[in-house]
Amino acid sequence: MIIDTLIEKIIERQNPTCVGLDTAYDYLPDDMKQLYGQSGAALAVLLFNKKVIDAVCDVVPAVKVQIAYYEALGVDGLKCFSETCAYAREKGLVVIADCKRNDIGSTAEQYARAFLSKETSCEGKCASCAEGCGQPPRFSCDLLTVNGYLGTDGILPFTALCRENDKGVFVLVKTSNPSSGELQNLRLADGRTVYECMGDMAEKWGEGTLGKYGYSRVGAVVGATYSEEAKNLRARLPHTFFLIPGYGAQGGNAEMLKNCFAAGGMGGIVNNSRGILCAYKKRGGTYFEAARAAALDMQKDLKSVLGEICAK
Amino acid sequence: MIIDTLIEKIIERQNPTCVGLDTAYDYLPDDMKQLYGQSGAALAVLLFNKKVIDAVCDVVPAVKVQIAYYEALGVDGLKCFSETCAYAREKGLVVIADCKRNDIGSTAEQYARAFLSKETSCEGKCASCAEGCGQPPRFSCDLLTVNGYLGTDGILPFTALCRENDKGVFVLVKTSNPSSGELQNLRLADGRTVYECMGDMAEKWGEGTLGKYGYSRVGAVVGATYSEEAKNLRARLPHTFFLIPGYGAQGGNAEMLKNCFAAGGMGGIVNNSRGILCAYKKRGGTYFEAARAAALDMQKDLKSVLGEICAK
């Protein structure tokens, strides 16, 4: 079960860090930009990602690939997204596609097919056929972020495919950005906030899919930047695994993060994008060595507040 | 101003109908599927879309291209999405990309670049250069659907580019699907429902961008299937243009739609996807002739309740 796999990798590596491959072309070192140019941006980003993946794949359990940065490069960018996801999986990393998809049921089914199908591509490479089964190449990841504004029937097509193909989703509950409270912190007439209500829905959507560590296939996005809300949600949603953005560039620190975790440092994984991809700008050295060093520093920082990570 | 352009096309054609190119491979006629096969799905869908666009481009003002159906076909599908949008614009149609994108500010900026940039592609074809300016090809549309769950700072990057490049967005307010009320119809402590609150935000995000007919660059998605909510929103959001899904296959009819419009049949456009793309299955004939006939029937149906469409 994918959440169990993720948890076991976190325990094995003692590192609940997810490297965010939100790779803007601007993040690349000048010499790469000069070599590839704007017209070779997607290729340059792919090379950059692969070297970062090589450098961190034995110290972190997962990567999160933010599709917006690839869509901004058009069709070539999507090819780069697809190949980045495939490469990370080859290297044994759990791949979270951060796409925040959402739509009515029939359309959500198409998104689910796009991101939660079993194979990346057939063309002779898929698990079920040797010569190519005629299925067009798709994007393939382990976990997908989704937005629950449309309610249950917009989520069910995702959770159905998750069960079928051993995948999972993270529902946006309390996001890390400054204005997330405008809607999410509003109080409902029944006494809950909107984010609590969304959290309750996520917990409910996960029912019946618990893995051996007690977490379901339906996780939640809970920003590191809102410590009080995180504490509240951690207690409220005992079976919901958290994807935690907002560490580093967005202002979240380890002390604030403690609230996102259950006993034994369980129940969450913390994303860091710019802090790892752009580490070379502060530290010097190559971008991939700097990325590895930053991932190791983050491990130290998280462990200083979480202690030994272990299933209890 | 793009909303003025859309309104003028609606008035000129006396048809507030948007053809939804949610083209599932399954919708294609058997002979096309036999000819192209699953491995040629994206190419077959592009050909189908082009013939439908040719058949309807003088009777409707706009198309809505639902990206999920293209993502489900992988990178080739996205190429088809891009070429479908470009072809529809060439044929003089307003192109709505239905992507429901949403994220924190820095990421929303990337999505905005992907869909609301000025050019589809440079490679010698863009308006600003003759030889290719080195910018990678992007997706290009006139209007983009977005999800406002993250609040203002997740929307501003879209509206900023809208002003710069004469584009617009539609914010999900009250969606057409059966479970949309689970969150959207909840009552807030301040007396509003969640969808009213989201509608108020959309109206606010559009401030300062009114066109000559009194509608802003920030529209709202309001489902035809919820007539009472539509009536409420139409009165509440006087400067917000509505994109109205849910007609036909989802159960919305012309009588229910009346509430989505202001005086003179102004302020909205109604989407129909399956009812037009799959019309040939009920009517017989070629799929493109049937699509045209269905678009004309829909015009008649809408005009029977809206009367003459005119700026008042």
Question: B135-191, pLDDT tens digit by residue?
Answer: 556 898 999 999 999 999 999 999 999 999 999 999 999 999 999 999 999 999 999
Residue in chain A closest to B39 (alpha carbons) equals: A134
- The CA distance from B307 to the nearest CA of chain A, in Å, is 30
Is residue B188 within 8 Å of B194, Cβ to Cβ? yes
Q: pLDDT tens digits for A48-72?
A: 999 999 999 999 999 999 999 999 9
Residue A100: φ, ψ to 5°: 50, 45
In a domain, A56, yes or no: yes
pLDDT for residue A255: 80
Express each pLDDT in B241-287 by its tens digit.
999 998 987 777 888 899 999 999 999 999 999 999 999 999 999 99
- Residue B127's pLDDT band (boundaries 50, 70, 90)? very low
Query: Does the CB of B138 have a partner CB in chain A at under 8 Å?
Result: yes
Can you tell me the ipTM of this complex? 0.95
Environment class of B207 (CB within 10 Å of its CB; exposed 0-12, middle 13-18, buried 19+)? exposed
Q: Provide mean pLDDT across the span B221-233.
A: 96
Residue of chain A whose alpha carbon sits nearest to that of B198: A183
Contact at CB, B198 and A183, closer than 8 angstroms: yes
Give phi and psi for A18, each to the nearest 5. Answer: -115, 125
Q: Tell me the nearest-neighbour CA distance from B105 into chain A, angstroms.
A: 8
Nearest to B107 among A66, A79, A151 (CB): A66
Domain hosting residue B168, numbered range: 2-306
- Give the model's pLDDT for residue B136: 55
Residue in A68, A177, A188 nearest the CB of B111: A68
Looking at residues A260-284, what average pLDDT do you find?
Answer: 96
Distance from C-alpha of B276 to C-alpha of B282, rounded to nearest angstrom: 10
Q: For position B130, what pLDDT does the model report? A: 47
How far is Cα B290 from Cα A166, in angstroms, rounded to an integer? 41
Min Cα–Cα distance to chain A from B311, Å = 32
pLDDT at A128: 42
The pLDDT, as a whole number, for residue B133 is 53
Res. A129: pLDDT tops 60: no
Tokens of A84: 């980045």
Classify residue B247 by its DSSP letter.
B
Query: B159 in contact with A at a CB cutoff of 8 Å?
Result: no
What average pLDDT does chain B have?
A: 93
Å between B68 CA and nearest CA of chain A? 5
Residues of A in contact with B139 (CB under 8 A): 71, 74
Whether B78 sits inside 8 A of A75 (CB atoms) is yes
Pick from B27, B35, B107 the residue to mutate for testing the A interface (most A CBs within 10 Å): B107
At residue B125, the pLDDT reads 45
The number of beta carbons lying within 10 Å of the beta carbon of residue A133 is 14
**pLDDT winner (highest mean) among B36-40, B221-225, B246-250:** B221-225
Query: Which of B38, B76, B152 is the closest to A179 by Cβ?
Result: B152
Task: Report A:50-79 residues touching B (Cβ under 8 A).
Answer: 66, 68-69, 71-79
Kindly state whether residue B311 falls inside one of the protein's structural domains: no
CA distance A83 to A80: 5
- Cβ atoms of B269 and B282 closer than 8 Å: no
Separation between Cα atoms, residue B12 and residue B291, nearest integer Å:
20
Count of C-beta atoms within a 10 Å radius of residue B286: 13
The answer to whether residue B303 scores a pLDDT higher than 90 is yes
Q: What is the pLDDT of residues A204-230, one digit of tens each?
A: 999 999 999 999 999 999 999 999 999
- Domain presence at residue B83: yes
A119 pLDDT tier (thresholds 50, 70, 90): low
* pLDDT(A136) > 70: no
Which of B33, B51, B79, B100 does the annotation list as catalytic? B100
Residue from B177, B101, B95, B107 nearest B140 by CA? B95
Please tell me which of the candidates B38, B111, B149 has its beta carbon nearest to residue A134.
Answer: B38
Closest Cα of chain A to B141: distance in Å?
13
Q: Which of A115, A118, A141 is nearest to A129 (CA)?
A: A118
Active site residue A212: no
Does the beta carbon of A26 lie under 8 angstroms from any beta carbon of chain B? no
- The CA distance from B100 to B78, in Å, is 16
Tell which A residues from 86 to 105 touch B, by Cβ distance under 8 Å.
100-105
In chain A, the residue whose alpha carbon lies closest to the alpha carbon of B146 is A102
How many contacts does A have with B, using Cβ atoms within 8 A?
212
Assigned token pair, A143: 């976990």
Chain B residues in contact with A252 by the CB 8 A cut-off are none
Report pLDDT for B163. Answer: 97
The two structure tokens encoding residue A51: 């070297």
Q: Please tell me the predicted confidence (pLDDT) of residue A125.
A: 45
Chain B closest-CA separation from residue A130 CA (Å): 15
Partners of residue A269 on adjacent β-strands: A243
**Whole-number Å distance between alpha carbons of A303 and A305:** 5
Report the alpha-carbon distance of residue B4 to residue A150 in Å, rounded: 29
Q: Chain A closest CA to B138's CA: distance in Å?
A: 4
**Residue with tokens 């409902």, as numbered in its chain:** A188
The pLDDT assigned to A251 comes to 78
Q: Does B38 touch chain A (CB under 8 A)?
A: yes
Q: Which two tokens stand for residue A7?
A: 């948890």
Residues 254-293 of B with CB under 8 A from A: none
Q: How many other CB atoms are there within 10 angstroms of residue A1's CB atom?
A: 17
Is B312 a domain residue?
A: no
Taking the Cβ of residue B4 and every Cβ of chain A, the question of whether any pair is shorter than 8 Å is answered with no
Q: Is the dihedral of CA B232, B145, A233, A161 positive or negative?
A: positive
The answer for B 220-239 residues in CB contact with A (under 8 A) is: none
**Closest of B180, B176, B143 to residue B273, by C-alpha:** B176
Among all residues of chain B, which has the CA nearest to that of A65?
B107
Judge whether A312 lies within some domain.
no
Q: Which residue has the higher pLDDT, A137 or A249?
A: A249
DSSP sequence for A130-194: SS--SPPP----SEEEE--TT-GGGTHHHHHHHHHHT-EEEEEEE-SSGGGHHHHTPBBTTS-BH
pLDDT class of B105 with cuts at 50, 70, 90: very high
Considering its fold, how many domains does chain A have in total? 1
* E strand residue ranges, B21-180: 62-66, 94-101, 143-146, 168-174
Q: Is B148 within the bounds of a domain?
A: yes
The answer, for B35 touching chain A at a CB cutoff of 8 Å, is: no
For residue A311, tell me if it sits in a domain. no
Q: What is the CATH number of the domain that holds B44?
A: 3.20.20.70
Taking 90 as the threshold, does the pLDDT of residue A254 lie above it?
no
Helix (H/G/I), strand (E/B), else coil: B117: coil
Residue A38 confidence (pLDDT): 84
Q: Is the CB of residue A194 less than 8 Å from the CB of residue A188?
A: yes
Mutate to test the interface with B, among A34, A45, A110 (most CBs of B within 10 A): A110
